[in-house]
Each structure stands twice: as C-alpha cells, then as structure tokens.
Amino acid sequence: MTTLKSKLKEDLNAAIKERDELRSSTLRLTLTAITKEEVAGKTKRELSDDEVQKVITREAKKRREAADAFAQGGRAESAEREKAEGEILATYLPKQLGDDELEAIVTQAVAEAKAAGAEGPRAMGAVMKIVNPKVAGLAEGGRVAAAVKKSLAG
C-alpha cells in the first residue's frame, strides 16, 4: 500500500475514534474515490503516491466547485461544509505555488517557446507543454492558463 493511502486510512481511523464526523466522511469519500480508480479498467492495480495525489486533487477541486455552486444558490451552510472538506483534503496535497513563483515559471517557459519559434497567442499550446510538467500538482490548471495568457498578451 502506498504511503499516502495508508496515511489517509490511519487518519480516517483517528477521526472515527475522535468522533470527527466531517473529517471521517471526507476521508471515507476520498478513499472510495481512490478504490474506484484502482479497480477502473480491465485489471485491479495499486495506485502510486502520485496517482493517489491526483485523485485527492480531483476530489478537492470537486469540493471547491460545489462550494461555489452552493454559495451562488444561497445555501451558505452547504457551501461552508464543502469548503471545510476542501481544506481537509488540501492538507494531503503539496503547497500550491504562489503567484510570483508561478509567474516566474511561466515567463521562463514563454522565453523558451519564443526561442523555439512560437509567437503570439498561438504559442499558448507550446508554452503550456513546457509549463505543465513543472507545475503539475502545484498549481491549478485554470490559474496556469490565465498566467500564460497574461504573459503572452503582455
């Protein structure tokens, strides 16, 4: 069993013992998503820590989107719960890049793409190919795309 998955299971057991309903339900849902991913496809397999991290990232994104939807729908209590679940999941993810760090990576990638002959707004794909491996798991795709567009426009 991967170390991240076993940590999730240990934390789930601790949350159950402490009668922390929010934390235990969040971890249960996340472990279920991990198990679903493991049995998806033709053969059952064990996920690596990176793959488990991707599942947690996906679950955290779902929580953020749900919180936004609930907030827009006037259901503040449900939005708060979704935000709290997202914060619990964030503790299992690497620290997100700050705006300055992301901007520096994007600026360097734009320079690399221009050196390779990519120019103007059409260079977006080339720049994203350079940036994505560097920021995988450290910044959300929407933030990265916005930073690249801003850098290409400026």
- Taking residue 5's Cβ as centre, other Cβ atoms within 10 Å add up to 22
Q: What mean pLDDT is reported for the chain? A: 84
pLDDT the model gives residue 82: 92
Rounded to an integer, what distance in angstroms lies between the CA atom of residue 100 and that of residue 53?
Answer: 24
Q: What is the pTM (predicted TM-score) of this model?
A: 0.73
Q: Say whether pLDDT at 7 is over 80.
A: yes
